[in-house]
Amino acid sequence: MSTTVITFGTFDVFHVGHLRILERARASGDRLVVGVSTDQLNIAKKGRPPVYTQDERAEIVRALRCVDKVFFEESLEQKADYIRDYSADILVMGDDWAGRFDDLSALCEIIYLTRTPAISTTEVIEKIRL
Ligand code: CTP
């Protein structure tokens, strides 16, 4: 039986930390489904719109060899619904979220992967600004 992995993120100003977590998420199973957060969700979450639109971010993520399916994550509260909708067996999150999704462990296995050190979208934006 094939194992479906699901993960979530903004993936704005796509960088190597994003690529590595997606590749590692895919390596945790046979099929990788990625929830790309909407522009609206980002404005609500971070107080600013992403640099790239949700359609552009989704197009980049969809083009990756390790990604099988992309959908838009409309709300942070709907992870359980998304896990069910996509029949996910494993939820992968970066360890900046460690412990935060343990309540979903009745639905699927939860794996927190170590983030790639010293890179983030915020840092890249800061670097370009300087
Ligand atoms: N991620 C990672 N290593 C990094 C940066 C991000 O593994 N250095 C992972 C996150 O843990 C998450 C996914 O990539 O699972 C998407 O993260 P996202 O929030 O879109 O990227 P960040 O670079 O963390 O963005 P920001 O600086 O805006 O918080």
Domain count, the chain: 1
Q: Which of 20, 21, 52 to mutate to test the pocket of ligand 1 (most atoms within 8 A of CB)?
A: 21
Query: Can you give the residue range of the structural domain that contains 120?
Result: 4-129
* CATH, residue 60: 3.40.50.620
93-105: per-residue pLDDT in tens?
999 999 999 999 9
Mean pLDDT of the chain: 97
35 lines ligand 1 (CB under 6 A): no
Express each pLDDT in 68-93 by its tens digit.
999 999 999 999 999 999 999 999 99
Nearest residue (by CA) to ligand 1, atom 11, is 94
Residue range 43-58, pLDDT digits in tens: 999 899 999 999 999 9
Residue ranges of alpha helices (H) inside the chain are 16-27, 39-46, 54-62, 79-85, 121-129
CA distance 35 to 26: 14
**Ligand 1 center to residue 49 CA distance, Å?**
16
CA of 84 to the centre of ligand 1 (A): 24
